[in-house]
Amino acid sequence: MQIKNPTLKPYGENRVTFNVFALSVLLFICFTVSATAEIKKIVAFGDSLTAGYGLPQKDAFPVQLEAALRDRGFEIKIENAGVSGDTSTGGLQRLDWAVANGADAVILELGANDALRGIEPEITRENLDQIITKLKAKDIPVFLTGMRAPPNMGAAYAEEFDSLFPTLADKHDVTFYPFFLEGVAAIPSLNQDDAIHPNREGVALIVENMLPSLIEFLKNPK
């Protein structure tokens, strides 16, 4: 008498199940690797905080960030598309030019000058909204960095301005880093004499603080 094990499936069915499983694993590995490997060039798109105002170019944010990423095994080029004094309006106007040579991802850092000039937050929000929309239409993942209004603008302005960045991140489902100057703003030893722009050490801390979020973004760009 032949005793059948009810948990065993015919050989052919087991082989099909194994092949499907193996294919799923292979596709997952390929997708994970390609998602990381496809980002070779990042455009850092912003104002003087990106451009490196008051610093030698070797100390600017894009250069220090590129070096930090390469130290961690990422062969990525960071292109400096920062313009000192730029507002969100100026950024929107020059966006197509800034990414004309191609970009696998964009770090979007704009809004500080809007707040310093007291520009209505709704204008800033609309400009950034259009920038992100245009980048997404080009299939360029966005790493959005937030900014905070200076205290002298008042509580009502600060609340409206500060909240526009997470609101846009939620709307467009993009990676969001809450405050570009985290740990650096208002600390004299980390800023230049104008008390606005970070010095070399300040930029290094910005990079150090941002790096974990950016690496996660590179592994899983939205």
Q: Which residues are catalytic?
A: 48, 194, 197
Check if the beta carbon of residue 38 is closer than 8 Å to that of residue 76: no
Residues 6+ apart with CB under 8 A from 218: 36, 39, 69, 74, 76, 105
Residues 6+ apart with CB under 8 A from 177: 143, 144, 145, 146, 210, 213, 214
The secondary element (H helix, E strand) that includes residue 34 is helix 11-37
Residues 6+ apart with CB under 8 A from 206: 61, 180, 181, 182, 183, 184, 198
Residue with tokens 């973004």: 217
